[in-house]
Amino acid sequence: MRRESWGFAIGSVLFALGALQVYADAVGREVDNATYFVGSLFFTAAAYIQLRLSGRPVPGAESLRVERYDWWAALIQFAGTLLFNLSTGVALVHGLTVEQDEAWQWRPDLFGSTAFLVASGLAVVATTETDKLWDPHARNWRSTWLNMIGSVAFGVSAVGSFILPGTDMPADPVAADLGTFVGALCFLVAALLMRPPHRTYSSNQSSTRS
């Protein structure tokens, strides 16, 4: 779980960095697009780990619904990260027409954001099965809802990044960048909240293991 959390955290930092106009102006469009692409790879690696860890029995759960919701959320999220791999990878390709950009970059971005929304919704259901509907003191509750807010922000970004027909400009570049930045920050905080605590050992245990 520690690798999963750090994977999501690093990917979130790179997406937030890529959404900053000052960074894009400083490094150029190609490096900015590469930043998104590398960030999407960290998302995919973390989502794969989460999928491998999902579906395990939840202590105190009265039914298997939590495990099913958890597994489906992880699977759909993993699929969403693969779509982001595609959209951010295609952004590195030069000379795309508007039609090609829509087919190979914007659509995967939209579908990836939709997958994140569905996965977050399933995670919310799973959380309310084990925790209360309103329990801001629970770390899992806060992380789940932060992921939901981040997914909504990514959805706004996908809509804002739609390339208008006959132009090479997004419909709302401010919404596209701001949605990505806000969503990435939400994912970052959620990932850091879910980091497992470091194990501590007594001096006897340490000497035994050494």
pLDDT over threshold 90, residue 56: no
Burial class (CB in 10 A: 0-12, 13-18, 19+), 62: exposed
pLDDT at 131: 56
pLDDT at 19: 95
The two tokens of residue 155 are 């959805």
Task: Average the pLDDT over 64-76 and give the result.
Answer: 87
Residue 156 or residue 139, greater confidence? 156
The two tokens of residue 168 are 């090479």
> How far apart are the C-alpha atoms of 10 and 182, rounded to whole Å?
15
CB 141 within 8 A of CB 123: no
- Greatest mean pLDDT among 150-154, 160-164, 196-200 lies in 150-154
CB 86 within 8 A of CB 104: yes
Query: Could you identify the residue written with the tokens 């190609």?
Result: 30
The two tokens of residue 23 are 């960074």
Alpha helices in 20-138 (DSSP H): 21-27, 29-53, 65-90, 98-101, 107-130
**pTM (whole model) above 0.75:** yes
pLDDT at 104: 82
Residue type, 191: A
Q: Average model confidence (pLDDT) for the chain? A: 85
Among 13-22, 39-48, 96-105, 153-162, the minimum mean pLDDT is found in 96-105
Task: Average the pLDDT over 60-66 and give the result.
Answer: 62
**Within its chain, how far is the Cα of 197 from the centroid?**
22
CB 11 within 8 A of CB 46: yes
Task: Average the pLDDT over 127-147 and give the result.
Answer: 73
Task: Average the pLDDT over 102-107 and give the result.
Answer: 84
Residue 43 or residue 93, greater confidence? 43
Among 69-73, 137-141, 182-186, the minimum mean pLDDT is found in 137-141
> How far apart are the C-alpha atoms of 31 and 194, rounded to whole Å?
30
Q: What is the DSSP letter of 170?
A: B
> How far apart are the C-alpha atoms of 55 and 67, rounded to whole Å?
5
CB 77 within 8 A of CB 102: no
Among 12-21, 33-42, 103-112, 124-133, the minimum mean pLDDT is found in 124-133
pLDDT at 202: 43
